[in-house]
Structures are given as structure tokens and as C-alpha cells.
Amino acid sequence: MSDTRKPPGSVEDACGRCAEAALFSLQVLDDSMEPEFPQGCVIVIDPTALATDGSYVLADDDGGYLFRQLQRGAEGWSLTALNRRFEAVALPTGLNTVRGVVVQRSGTRRSMHKRYD
């Protein structure tokens, strides 16, 4: 019989241990969202918050998860990195891939802490 549990520390593991409406946190692992979210900072995600144009969101992406800024354009919704080296990802099925909205950023210093509404 195969083990279907997710590795400790994974998004699936974090989500599976808390109620669907509970906030959860993740660490930013790359520079795709710099300068607003430096590599290594911690983001707090609210799975019940309303995702709107300009929100920072966590979304499903081809078997994984993607942290990007949600944008609405003439062609529909897309996920855009703040770092221009990363390409935007179209959301042809709309917002149903969004798993939560970033509501807070924490860092190594108090001056790095920020809330998002």
C-alpha cells in the first residue's frame, strides 16, 4: 500500500492540519515576488479572504502552488510575478484555482512586517 501523506512542511501538510477557514503561513522560497516579498520572508494566508484585482494570492499551478499577484486584464485573470524575470500565468478557468489571499508579511526585523487588506 502506498503512502499518500504529504511531506512535513508542505502546503498540503499545512492545510491538512488546520480547519479550512484557518490562517496558515508559508515561507517564500524564491525571488519571484521581490522586492515586496524577499526570499525567506514568511507570508500569512487567509483561505477565506476575497481575492480581488491586485491581491497577492496562493493558487494551484499544475500540481503545485504559485504565489503571485492577481490581475484582471482584457483577456481575463492572470497571476503576475513582481520580479519581471518571471512570466505571467493565465487563469483560463477564473478564480477557482486561488487557495487563499496573503494578509500579512513577516520578516527577520519588525520593520519588515506588513499587513495587506
Residue 5's pLDDT is what? 39
- The mean pLDDT value for 9-24 works out to 65
Quickly state the pLDDT bin for 12 (edges 50, 70, 90). Answer: low
Q: What is the pLDDT of residue 18?
A: 58
Cell of 96: 477557482
Structural domains of the chain, ranges and CATH numbers in brackets: 11-115 (2.10.109.10)
Residue pLDDT, tens place only, 36-68: 999 999 999 999 999 999 999 999 988 889 999
What does DSSP assign to residue 15?
Answer: H
Residue type, 11: V
> pLDDT band for position 21 (50/70/90)?
confident
Determine the length of the chain. 117
Residue range 82-114, pLDDT digits in tens: 999 999 999 988 899 999 999 999 866 666 667
d(CA 88, CA 78): 7
pTM: 0.78
Q: Bridge partners of 46?
A: 101
